[in-house]
Chains A and B, each alone.
Chain A
């Protein structure tokens, strides 16, 4: 369970202060997939970085399983599995070594790491790449490795920043299946996307973010009803108030 409460974050840039996130609140429940939907530059990644304690909000609070990110960041990180926007894997290590390294950082025993690696490898269908050095991996293979690495400690909460970005159709379908499986296992899953169909197909709840703020929240049906549009894409455009960034 992840609760974001009135998050604010601004950055100083050469052209002045940018309010990247300006009042974001939502609740992501266990056993549900929550989608953060928004055009590019809406503040999705910054919001997520505050969720996984990489950034401190200027104002507001994040609770993960009741733990406050500001008070117990390490406890929070232990309860989270994170696929960040930057998902570089170590090129000179094999996929298995990449996963094991993060397992060690989470304090898992060698036996537990082997067990989890086997489970994740089966779920993500990465048996044939497990022993290969990740140098030269395809985008999909890299993403799989990064996800397996992020989930090695079997976290209750999973945050994925645009997990299907750059993947081909088959891999994207497999990825959706994997996200559903995480939901069936009772985990709290948050993922961000700017792709409408994906969010509509997967999410139990959708949080639409535009210009740093939440402009609408609800299930796909609720959003259609809220905006009075039949088509979710039209509902989305209506909610964010422009088509800006949608096709980027």
Chain B
């Protein structure tokens, strides 16, 4: 009777991991959904979203801009000049301000009552651009109109000086030029640099969520935890096996996501070239995201293990989804220079590093060192906390 021998932690871990993976693979829908959602979503964002933004910009730049002009009769030359630059004056609606508020009109022009008399007298004649600066849609039309008006003003001014026998160059004491120092790669990456890191971080952070919640809170709810804990299996090995299974699944999903990212960047043609998707870059991204996978899975294990039911465990998902956004939002409100300490802060570090990788910027070995140390350290602490949870007496008691 017996024949039971001492079981090593590794073989228990391996048994638990294999069993959890077998179990979830039999749950086809959950399995494929959690594995393939992100790999399918990334190309949609990348190809669809990118195309949408570029299309919008192109059509807004090229198409004839219709601008309601109040008092067009006071400045026929100006209106003709605008017309030559693709900006057509149309009759203004009854109340321009209301029309802008209702978003019927993106930008309008008001030519002041005294325009004609000021003009003839050689005084600065007043025109006003009306728009809502908080509306992104209005940005390009306003830029176009402003540029055209400035062009008209400069042209007429020069003609006036020349008519008086003065070289127009004397009025320009300083010539301001701009040279954008952003690298070409960085410029191209700007569109995706905000969204992509978040998507990738979420994929890593919650990649193992479906499995780990099922294997912890779900196991407890289905009352199979008590028999499991009555076996001689080491609890640390049981927890680690579950975490390992979730991480294996998360890693697989992450790999698919990164490959989908690479594939869609290639498919996107010229737009895709704005991103560094060499295999080296993909490998770097994987290295950045790997600790995130451990952190997320261990944190979920800790939270879900103490939940009484699957339902309770799932309530954690809402704030966990928002968590990776916090540093992005903070950076948007209060942009800070990249400093070394930031690479020890979870989410902020991944965000910064991924952006750097995508923009093909050099990452200091010191930064890598600090990042890997801090993030794997945090993962270890969370893992330890999850193991402690499994040693609690009340955990085993389901009802």
Contacts and interface: CB of A to CB of B under 8 A. Distances in A.
A154 B3 contact: yes
Interface stretch (B47-55, B64-72, B228-236): B228-236
A173 interface: no
B22 interface: yes
Given A87-B223, A105-B231, A54 B23 contact: no
A74 B232 contact: yes
A199 interface: no
B399 to A, nearest CB: 7
Contact of B223 (A77, A82, A86, A156): A86
B22 A108 contact: no
- Residue of B5, B23, B229, B231 with highest tally of chain A CB at under 10 A: B231
Nearest to B24: A92
B396 interface: yes
Contacts of B27: 92
Given A77-B232, A106-B7, A97 B2 contact: no
Interface string B1-40: 1111111000110011001001100110000000000000
Interface string B278-303: 00000000000000000000000000
Interface stretch (A21-29, A123-131, A145-153, A213-221): A145-153
A187 B1 CA distance: 9
A52 interface: yes
Interface size classification for chain B: 35 or more
Contact of B23 (A55, A77, A90): A90
B230 A82 contact: yes
A92 B226 contact: no
B365 interface: no
Given A80-B230, A106-B232, A86 B1 contact: no
Contacts of B233: 105
A86 B2 contact: no
Interface in A48-95: 49, 52-56, 74-75, 77-80, 82-93
Contact of A52 (B228, B230, B234, B397): B230
A182 to B, nearest CB: 11
12 contacts: A53-B230, A54-B393, A55-B393, A82-B230, A87-B226, A88-B222, A92-B22, A93-B23, A101-B19, A105-B7, A105-B228, A150-B227
